[in-house]
Amino acid sequence: MDADGPDGTGQVCQQVAKEIKDYIWQDRNFTVSTAYHVEQNWGLQGDPATLLKHITDTIQVVCVIAELKTLRKGVPTYLVYIKPVTNDGKMYLKWVKKFTQAGAYWRGPCQLEIDKAVVDCKLC
């Protein structure tokens, strides 16, 4: 599959990444927390907005087929990759909760549900 994908999934993934970035930028407390982690763990200096931009620039979204936990049925699923802000497991889980809280989000007429499908490990 090329960058845009045969069915335009590349463009859709870029739009989803943009919407995630917008979602992150709207939360001042998350911005400050993320800036702190980037400064402490990445060795970068700067104002919170600059440090947050460093992390949001690492966001990558890909579309894969996952299996619904309840129906064992394949469904298109977005995987979001982002560079970890810390190597401390507890701190990371607290930080990543912003993205992994179960719930439903709307993207136009489509409902996106968090944690409803299972994806084989894509890092292995």
Model confidence pLDDT, tens digit, residues 37-68? 999 999 999 999 999 999 999 999 988 888 87
Q: CA nearest 30: which of 21, 19, 42?
A: 21
CA 23 – CA 19 distance, rounded (Å): 6
pTM for the full predicted model = 0.75
pLDDT per residue over 70-106, tens digit each? 777 787 888 888 999 988 989 888 888 887 777 777 7
Start-end of H helices in the chain: 9-25, 28-42, 48-56, 89-100
Query: Cα–Cα distance between 47 and 35 in angstroms, integer?
Result: 8
Measure the CA–CA gap between 110 and 16, rounded to whole angstroms: 12
